[in-house]
Amino acid sequence: MSYFSDIINGTKTLLTGMRVTGGYFFVNFFTKRDVITQQYPNNIETLEMFDRFKGEVIMLHNENNEHRCDACTLCEKACPNGSIEILGDKAKDPETGKNKRFLVKHIYHLQMCTMCGLCIEACPVNAIDWGQDFHHVEYDRSLLTKVLNKPGSKIMSGIKG
């Protein structure tokens, strides 16, 4: 008698599926509560991307305008298409008296970046991270070349060079 129970079970499961999708439909039709579509140019002021969105590479700075980058160039080496250039220099460390590398400019070519994230994984001191800004439109490609460390910033104390 599995013939008839198959029919009844089949109908039941189909109706269960229809109840689920019908619930989605009516919720979204009347309230638009769960609609995830972003109407981009219209909500440009309020749109916030989710935490793990890969918008661009940024360098983290604290409130004293200090970053963690010690110019080790591991991110530059990790980058498969040369989007990162690091200009470093050496100076005498006042504490130890030894020569130490420090960062002058962390140059990031957004126009070449594929957002693969290898640089961020390579960084041993978590100096760079993903930013959520996605609005990168410019009229000149040179404007997409960015210096990630803020002007006047210096390395945080306690980061080994």
Partner 1 sequence: MILNIFTDIHELLLGLMPENIVHITELVLIAVAYLGIFAILGLFLVWLERRIAAFFQFRLGPNRVGPMGLFQTVADALKLVSKELTGTEKADKFLYKIAPYFVITTALMSLSLIPFSYEIHAFDINIGLFFLTSVSSVGVLGIFLAGWASNNKYSLIGGMRTGIQMISYELSVGMAIVTMVVLAGTLQISEIVEIQKDGWLIYQGHIPAIIAFMIFMIAGTAESNRTPFDLVEAESELGAGFHTEYSGMNFAYYFLAEFVNLFLISSVAVILFFGGWLSPFGITDTIPFAGLFWFVIKVLGVIFIFMWFRWTFPRFRIDQLLTLEWKFLLPINMVNIVLMALMVWLGLTL
Strands 56-59 vs 145-147: parallel, antiparallel or unpaired: unpaired
Does 44 sit near partner 1 (CB under 8 A)? Answer: no
Out of 34, 45, 51, 63, the only residue in the binding site for partner 1 (CB under 8 A) is 34
**Token reading at 30:** 């009347």
Stretches 19-27, 89-97, 107-115, 127-135: which one binds partner 1 (CB under 8 A)?
Answer: 19-27
The interface region with partner 1, picked from 33-41, 53-61, 83-91, 145-153 by CB under 8 A, is 33-41
d(CA 85, CA 75): 9
Give the shortest CB-113-to-partner 1 separation in angstroms: 29
Distances from the Cα of 51 to the Cαs of 10, 70, 91, 123, 141, in angstroms? Answer: 42, 26, 37, 19, 27
- Per CB under 8 A, 32 contacts partner 1: yes
Asked if 126 contacts 90 with a C-beta cutoff of 8 angstroms, the reply is: no
Stretch that binds partner 1, among 35-43, 98-106, 110-118, 139-147 (CB under 8 A): 35-43
User: What does residue 80 show for φ and ψ, rounded to 5 degrees?
Assistant: -75, -20
Q: Residue 14, interface with partner 1 (CB under 8 A)? A: yes
CA–CA separation, 24 and 18 (whole Å): 10
Minimum distance from residue 95 beta carbon to partner 1 (Å)? 57
Angle at 51 between CA 129 and CA 55, to 5 degrees: 55
Q: Where on the chain is the footprint of partner 1 (CB under 8 A)?
A: 7, 14, 17-18, 20-22, 24-25, 28-29, 32, 34-37, 39
